[in-house]
Structure 1
Amino acid sequence: MKQGFVKVAAVTPNLQVADVEYNTGKICEAIDAAYENRAKVVVFPELCITGYTCSDLFLQDILLEESKKALLKIAKYTRDKDMLIFVGMPLMQDGKLYNVAAALNKGDILGFTTKTFLPNYGEFYEMRQFTPGPKEARWILFEGNKVPFGPQILFECTTMPNLVVSAEICEDVWAPMPPSIQAALGGATLIVNCSASDETIGKSSYRRELIKGQSARLLAGYIYANAGEGESTTDLVFGGHNIIAENGSILRESRRFVNRAIYSEIDINRLVGERRKNTTFQINDVPGLIRVPFYLEMEKTYLTRKFSKHPFVPYNEREKARRCEEILNIQAMGLKKRLAHTHAKTAVVGISGGLDSTLALIVTARAFDMLKKDKKQIIAVTMPCFGTTDRTYQNACKMSKQLGATLIEVPIAEAVNIHFRDIGHDPKDHSVTYENGQARERTQVLMDIANKDGGMVIGTGDLSELALGWATYNGDHMSMYGVNASIPKTLVRHLVQYAADTTVDKELKQVLYDVLDTPVSPELLPPKDGNIAQKTEDLVGPYELHDFYLYYLLRFGFEPSKIFRLAKYTFEDTYDDVTILKWLETFCKRFFAQQFKRSCLPDGPKVGSVALSPRGDWRMPSDACVAVWLKDLENISLSDI
């Protein structure tokens, strides 16, 4: 539960219809297994103490009495279990029979959540035996104790205040206004569903999308436990389709037609952070909610859920291709509008043979196609200097030719040396002045060509470079429209890969593949034996780590120690802990120190959920202090996290 992670379980136990004693034993066995797996919130199916398919047997007093005794036995069994457990059962109250989910914690019965919407169509006939739950929760006496009874009861963890759990039952989530909506608006961060949803053709896909969508709409975790084998097959088959979702993502899903338990970890702090940012999600004082405290011990949650090493890049190949096409269109549409609005005759791109300028040129060519403009009006400018290698130079030239651009070569070494003479800098001193002098000279050349030819300079810098400040202020940092401004480096590579894979031009394909194979470098220091001497990732750290840090810092507002924990878990087969911590510290320091460069960024299209535009997603003082973030890193014990 530290850092917001709560291990949860959705369980489909083996059962026998109307055999309460047998079912109770199986439920207790499943509780033991969940406890061994260190689950903190455990959800069982609808009416699992008796079986959902008892039909008119629910009208038999003996079954209802045995069910009540079973609940007391199960509750007692949980006395030494550090868990919040939900089990489904029938319950008589005020002469009516209700379908309820009983909440149990450390031997106590915390409350009964009633089913609000009873299906009475198709294969369902629940209103024959059951009564819909009341509109608002109230207190009732159960075995001499006052417990809440009704919909939208909120169970609040005293040791982790952000963990607020509410239950609904099966059909409730299929209704136009599920009870979980009001529960979430009242503060519930985790919704559980005790369900008995039968299997028919195509229903599992709909069910999956329903649960995924509800978790997204509520910015909540959702645990869905479904009835399975053991229910009567007189007319229906139940597949035990269990689902654990978090804010629109399926974390774990069971294989159907096999009774089993599934586990995952819901990140409650992430959900709270999402709600904090989302101004349309507003916690209200919802009338009729009853809040019930429960206790769980705070401890480390061992992670089993997966985190992508490259969170900006889709894992599925088909989805990746679709996403790449969409991103290129967004970039190109943004540039198309700007070119049309400014009546630009040309677009000027500084082309180095590296990934970023390659992507910018591809996007520019696509924008010209959209405008039905002659791509010869794209002016691709290569500006070789002290660090330029033949490989990148040749790639820049070939690429420009194959994309139909007009290639201009402007060697800048002489101009830079004159500038060094003017400012009194020794060219043998390969300091930051040596490097930045080249970058600013290139920008001057591009800007002046754009002025001369009635065009605009297309920026090539990417999101990762902006986060790290890996750009020369008023050099490559500046342009008239930055098409790559919200594209992280790990995604730039996949976009260029997609362009290479899909082009029918064999020569272009070959050069793009070679660009992909070239080390990332600003090429500002002289080559060694004709090869690139300056590799960015040797200097500033691996971009896949920095993009991982960037995603979780900006997208979810995670503290550095939590980001370190996720990176350690995710990259355990790639980097050791010391390396991960070293570059995370570098990231934090550079991210804060370099904000001044982001405060005056050129315009550029937002593509994904993370962006650094000072006019949009990220507004930060340029003189903010990093001390709090570094202190959090200092408290990390590599052996303890």
Structure 2
Amino acid sequence: MQNGFIKAAAYTPEIKTADCRYNAGQILSLMEKAASDGVHVLVFPELCLTGYTCGDLFLQNVLLDSAKKMLVELSRQSKKFSMITIIGLPLIYESKLFNCAAVLYQGKILGIIPKTEIPNYSEFYELRHFSPAPVKNGILFIDNEEVPFGNQLIFRCLEMPEFVLGVEICEDLWVNQPPSNRHAQAGATLIANLSASDEVIGKAEFRRQLVKGQSAKLISGYIYADAGMGESSTDLVFSGHNLIAGNGVILAEAKPFEGAQAVSEIDLQEIIFERRKINTVHPLSTENYAVIPFSMPLRQTPLTKKIRMNPFVPEDTAHLRERCELIFSIQSAGLKQRLTHVQAKSAVVGVSGGLDSTLALLVSVRVMKELGRPMTDVVAVTMPSFGTTGRTKTNAMKLCETLGVTLRIVDITDSVRSHFRDLDHDESDHSILFENAQARERTQVLMDICHQCGGIVIGTGDLSELALGWATYNGDHMSMYGVNSSIPKTLVRFLVHYCMEITENEPLRDVLKDILDTPVSPELLPPKNGEMIQYTEDLIGPYELHDFFLYYTIRRGFTPAKIRYLAEYAFKNVYDAFIIEKWMQVFYKRFFAQQFKRSCLPDGPKVGTVTLSPRGDWRMPSDASSVAWLESIGKE
């Protein structure tokens, strides 16, 4: 539970219809297993103590008394576990029979939730036996104890306020106004659903989408436990299709007829952050709700779900290709609108032979094709200087040649030397002035060429560089439109790789491959024996780490301590804890110190959920202190 993670499980026991004692034994066995695995919330299917398919046996006192007796026994057994367990059974309340979920914890029944929506169509005949949940909460006496009863109960953890549990049952999810809507508005961050959903063709995908969609709509965790083996197969078959979702993502799934156990960690801190950020999430008055507190000591939750090293990049190949195409479409649409609006005669791009400028050039070429204009309206400018290597210069020229754009070569070495003389600067002094003078001269050249040819300068800097401030102020920091401004470096690489894969132009494919193989470098220091000596990631750290830090800082709002914990887990086979902490220090120091550069960024299209535009998703004072964030890195 530390760092906001709740380990959730949905288990389907193999039951015997109408044999409550046997079923309780199966449930207890799974409770013991879940507890030993560190589960915090365990959900069982609808009516699992009796079986869902008991039919008119539900009207028999023998079955009802047996179920109630086993409920009391399981409640007593739950004292051994620091784990909430939710089981389904029939119970009588004020002379009516209800399809219920019982919430057990530490030897007590915390509450009983009756099913709200009772289906009575197709294969379902529940109204024959069960009544819908009453309008108001009440009290049910079980084993001489008062137990809260009603569909307006939520359960809150005292030690972890983000952990608030709401419960609904099967059909409740399938209607247009699920009870979980109200639960979430009343503060529930985690929804448990006890279900007995029979399996027919096409239903599994629909069920999956329902669970996924409800968790997204509510911004919540969702645990769905489905009936399976042991139910009567007279007319129906149940598959144990268990699902766990978090904020629109399926985290774990026991596919139909396979295993019947789903276990994963749900990040409730992430859910709270999303709700806090989105101002259209409206809380509901809890006036009619009973909020039932429980105490669950905080403990570290060992992660079992995969934490991706590249959170900006989809893992599935087909999804990645689809994402790349969409990103190109967004970039192209934004640039096309800007070129059309200002009636630009050309798009001027500084081309270095690196990844960022390659991507900007590819986008510019695509826009000209869409506008039906000649490729020569893209003016690519390569500006060699002290640090330029033969490899990058050659690649830049080959790239322009294969794309058919206008290429201009402007060697800025003499201009920069003249500037050094004006400042009485020794050329052998390779200080920050030596580097930034080149970057600013290149920008001046680009700006003047764009006036010369009636165009606009297309910015090449990416999101990762903006986060770190890895740009020369009023140098490569500036342009008329930054097409890469919300694309992180790790994704830039995949976009260029995508272009390499889909092109039928073999020379273009070859040059893109070599650009992808070239180390990232600003090439501002003189090479040694023709080879570059300046590698960006040696200076500021691996971009895959910085993009990881950036994603979880901005998109998820996590503390540095939590991000460090996730990074150590995700990169455990790549970087040790010392290296991760070292580059985290660099990330936060630079992120805070370099905000002034982001406060005056040129326009650029928002592509993903993380952007640092001062006019869009990120507004931050340039003089904010990083002290609290740096101190948080070392906290547990």
- TM-score, normalised via structure 1 length: 0.98
Q: Which residue of 1 aligns with 2:89?
A: 89
Q: Which residue of 2 aligns with 1:639?
A: none
Could you say what secondary structure the match of 1:479 adopts? coil
Q: Which residue of 2 aligns with 1:276?
A: 276
Aligned residue identity for 1:64: L
8 Å Cα contact 2:222-2:245 kept in structure 1: yes
Aligned residue identity for 1:239: S
Q: Distance in 2 between matches of 1:340 and 1:78?
A: 68
Aligned residue identity for 1:464: S
Aligned residue identity for 2:273: G
8 Å Cα contact 1:16-1:51 kept in structure 2: yes
8 Å Cα contact 1:228-1:259 kept in structure 2: no
Q: Which residue of 2 aligns with 1:311?
A: 311
Could you say what secondary structure the match of 1:549 adopts? helix
8 Å Cα contact 1:228-1:258 kept in structure 2: no
Could you say what secondary structure the match of 1:574 adopts? coil
Q: Distance in 1 between matches of 2:632 and 2:472?
A: 30
Q: Distance in 2 between matches of 1:291 and 1:145?
A: 18
Q: Which residue of 2 aligns with 1:16?
A: 16
Q: Distance in 1 between matches of 2:179 and 2:471?
A: 51
Q: Which residue of 1 aligns with 2:26?
A: 26
Aligned residue identity for 2:420: F
Q: Distance in 2 between matches of 1:122 and 1:183?
A: 28
- Deviating beyond 6 angstroms after TM superposition, the runs of 4 or more aligned structure 1 residues are none
Q: Which residue of 1 aligns with 2:403?
A: 403
Q: Distance in 2 between matches of 1:87 and 1:419?
A: 78
Q: Distance in 2 between matches of 1:152 and 1:414?
A: 77
Could you say what secondary structure the match of 2:525 adopts? coil
8 Å Cα contact 1:440-1:474 kept in structure 2: yes
Could you say what secondary structure the match of 2:139 adopts? strand
Aligned residue identity for 1:331: Q
8 Å Cα contact 2:72-2:143 kept in structure 1: no
Q: Which residue of 1 aligns with 2:62?
A: 62
Q: Distance in 2 between matches of 1:567 and 1:635?
A: 14
State how 1:161-180 maps to structure 2 within 5 Å. Answer: 161-180=161-180
Could you say what secondary structure the match of 1:79 adopts? helix
Write the deviation string for residues 115-151 of structure 1: whole angstroms up to 9, x where unpaired: 1111111111111111111133233333332222111
**Which region of structure 1 is more displaced relative to structure 2, 397-406 or 437-446?**
397-406
Aligned residue identity for 1:166: G
Structure 2 residue 305 is matched with structure 1 residue 327: no
Structure 2 residue 603 is matched with structure 1 residue 603: yes
Alignment RMSD (CA, Å): 0.9
How many residues matched?
636
CA-CA distance at 1:256 after TM superposition:
2.1
**Which region of structure 1 is more displaced relative to structure 2, 414-423 or 627-636?**
627-636
Aligned residue identity for 2:109: I
8 Å Cα contact 1:152-1:168 kept in structure 2: no
State how 1:345-356 maps to structure 2 within 5 Å. Answer: 345-356=345-356
Q: Share of identical aligned residues, percent?
A: 56
Structure 2 residue 43 is matched with structure 1 residue 43: yes
Q: Distance in 2 between matches of 1:139 and 1:343?
A: 73
8 Å Cα contact 1:313-1:491 kept in structure 2: yes
8 Å Cα contact 1:18-1:50 kept in structure 2: yes
CA-CA distance at 1:287 after TM superposition:
4.2
Q: Which residue of 2 aligns with 1:586?
A: 586
Aligned residue identity for 1:44: F
Could you say what secondary structure the match of 2:408 adopts? strand
8 Å Cα contact 2:241-2:260 kept in structure 1: no
Structure 2 residue 596 is matched with structure 1 residue 577: no
Aligned residue identity for 2:136: E
Write the deviation string for residues 477-517 of structure 1: whole angstroms up to 9, x where unpaired: 00000000000000000000001100111111110111000
Could you say what secondary structure the match of 1:42 adopts? strand
Structure 2 residue 503 is matched with structure 1 residue 503: yes
Q: Which residue of 2 aligns with 1:385?
A: 385
Structure 2 residue 373 is matched with structure 1 residue 373: yes
Write the deviation string for residues 20-76 of structure 1: whole angstroms up to 9, x where unpaired: 110010111010000100111110000000001101110101100111001000000
Q: Distance in 2 between matches of 1:625 and 1:136?
A: 51
Q: Distance in 2 between matches of 1:200 and 1:634?
A: 52
State how 1:351-500 maps to structure 2 within 5 Å. Answer: 351-500=351-500
CA-CA distance at 1:439 after TM superposition:
0.1
Q: Which residue of 2 aligns with 1:522?
A: 522
Q: Which residue of 2 aligns with 1:223?
A: 223
Q: Distance in 1 between matches of 2:362 and 2:594?
A: 28
8 Å Cα contact 1:152-1:167 kept in structure 2: no
Could you say what secondary structure the match of 1:140 adopts? strand
- TM-score, normalised via structure 2 length: 0.99
CA-CA distance at 1:94 after TM superposition:
1.2
Could you say what secondary structure the match of 2:467 adopts? helix
CA-CA distance at 1:289 after TM superposition:
1.4
Aligned residue identity for 2:106: K
Q: Distance in 1 between matches of 2:135 and 2:581?
A: 52
8 Å Cα contact 1:376-1:406 kept in structure 2: yes
**Which region of structure 1 is more displaced relative to structure 2, 127-136 or 354-363?**
127-136
Could you say what secondary structure the match of 1:534 adopts? coil
CA-CA distance at 1:332 after TM superposition:
0.5
Q: Distance in 1 between matches of 2:414 and 2:259?
A: 75
Could you say what secondary structure the match of 1:486 adopts? coil
CA-CA distance at 1:286 after TM superposition:
4.1
Q: Which runs of 5+ in 2 are unaligned?
A: none
CA-CA distance at 1:159 after TM superposition:
1.2
Aligned residue identity for 2:288: G
Aligned residue identity for 2:583: W
Write the deviation string for residues 350-374 of structure 1: whole angstroms up to 9, x where unpaired: 0000000000000011111121111
Q: Distance in 2 between matches of 1:287 and 1:316?
A: 46
Q: Distance in 2 between matches of 1:258 and 1:28?
A: 21
Aligned residue identity for 2:612: L
Aligned residue identity for 1:518: T
Write the deviation string for residues 165-196 of structure 1: whole angstroms up to 9, x where unpaired: 00000111011110000000110000000110
Could you say what secondary structure the match of 1:270 adopts? helix
Could you say what secondary structure the match of 1:78 adopts? helix
Q: Distance in 2 between matches of 1:51 and 1:429?
A: 81
8 Å Cα contact 1:229-1:259 kept in structure 2: no
Q: Distance in 2 between matches of 1:543 and 1:274?
A: 26
8 Å Cα contact 1:182-1:286 kept in structure 2: no
Structure 2 residue 561 is matched with structure 1 residue 561: yes
